[in-house]
Chain A
Amino acid sequence: MTAFQIILMGLLIICAVSVSFSKNLLNAILIYMSFSLVMSMLWICLESPDLAITEAAVGAGITSVLFFVTLKKIHAIDASDPEAKEEKENE
């Protein structure tokens, strides 16, 4: 379990660093979404299932949806880009 936790924490740091270095805003938001998912796995390892379920629903779900809507609102996502739409629907 300790090794698993250490791997997850390494992933967290990688995600956090790569957010700052990604040029594309959409990529940054997707990486932040995966950061939240890794975080919710880590909550399970820390024996807090309440936090895990909340983080998965709120952090990975709602926050990312709000970010996507903002990007669409400011026309940072190209409307003809099919991937951009799919991501929003995945929620």
Chain B
Amino acid sequence: MSRKKTAEEYEKTFAFRFFRWLSGEKDPYIGNVEMQPQKKYEPDHEAALRREKEHDAIMDKVYDTGHNRWLHLFHRLYQASSILFCLFLIALLLVTISYLPPNGTVTRPVNNEVSARYIEKGLEETGAVNIVAGMILDYRAFDTLGESHVLFVATITVLILLRLNQSEKDEAEVNDRRFEPKNDAILQLVATFLVPVIIIFGIYIILNGHLGPGGGFSGGAVIGAGLVLYLNAFGFKKTERFFTEKTYKWICFFSLSFYCLAKSYSFYTGANQLHSAIPKGTPGAILSSGLILPLNIAVGLVVACTIYAFYAMFRKGGF
């Protein structure tokens, strides 16, 4: 059993002094060692400036890329070696290509039973006259869904990178107006005639995607180009009446979710050998080939909005 010390007794022990020194309550030198009072700190502006100047001069000397002989030598070496490497790459690829089976023949390994099956059964199973459209929107529809999402994500990333806050936006708009052709009569007249034609042509390409060359991507790009021309001729005030951030959000949301749900239904019924409620129609008619036409429309809407959104964001950082 240990004996309890009183407070006075404890203050004389080594442990008490040690812990007091450890917690910083008492400095053993103060009062015991002779000391001069400390001077107050005064920042020396001139010295700081001089040091900054010296630092800048050193940096100028170090990063003097114009007069650095070793850097020039390195550049020369870099250029020569990269050209040599590319020549080597060309030679390597050409030698490899010379051993490939000859171009345009049926016996190439690419032309296997997969493509034969797509061609022979494609019209019957998908109802699309254009076999490529039937392939990318029916057999490999998840590919296309991923691609639409790539476009959507790219738009979001560009929006994050180029977004401006409100005051910057106003300033950017003023800057933008300076470069814009203000009410150019020729441009506006041409645009009045051309924009409907371009947009109708885009709609034709989208609606005709399963009957001939075309489809959601190319048609959407044409519609987007028409919108860009309209924007250039008439300015943001007119386009903002029908296309804002909200429009983009809702169009993309509905198109992508419609694509997901429709394709999920068709994959579900296909995988479980169920009867699909979507009629195939007669091949060659405009309302045929089951889901391909609505999916084309969905993809076209996403692409057109994305193209317009890219342009608007590049112009003034937002739309």
Contacts and interface: CB of A to CB of B under 8 A. Distances in A.
Establish whether A and B are touching in the complex (CB under 8 Å): yes
B314 A49 contact: no
Given A57-B221, A57-B222, A61-B221, A50 B130 contact: yes
B224 interface: yes
B291 interface: no
A13 to B, nearest CB: 12
Q: Is the interface of B mostly helix, strand, loop or mixed?
A: helix
Contact size range, B: 20 to 34
Contact size range, A: 20 to 34
B259 interface: no
A66 B314 contact: yes
Interface string A41-74: 0000000111011101110011001100110110
Nearest to A49: B213
B129 interface: no
B295 interface: no
Given A69-B314, A70-B314, A85-B181, A91 B229 contact: yes
Nearest to B186: A89
B218 A65 contact: no
Contacts of A62: 221, 224-225, 307, 310
Contacts of A79: 178-179
Contact of B213 (A50, A58, A61, A91): A50
Interface in B212-270: 212-215, 217-218, 221-222, 224-225, 228-229, 232
B159 interface: no
Contacts of B187: 89
B200 interface: no
Given A58-B217, A85-B181, A91-B229, 18 more contacts: A50-B132, A50-B133, A50-B213, A50-B214, A50-B215, A52-B213, A53-B214, A53-B218, A54-B215, A54-B218, A56-B218, A57-B218, A58-B221, A66-B314, A69-B314, A72-B179, A73-B314, A88-B232
6 contacts: A53-B205, A58-B221, A62-B307, A66-B314, A70-B314, A73-B314
10 shortest interchain CB distances as A-B pairs: A49-B213, A57-B221, A69-B314, A54-B218, A53-B218, A58-B221, A50-B213, A57-B218, A50-B132, A57-B222
Interface of B: 130, 132-133, 178-179, 181, 187, 205, 212-215, 217-218, 221-222, 224-225, 228-229, 232, 307, 310-311, 314-315
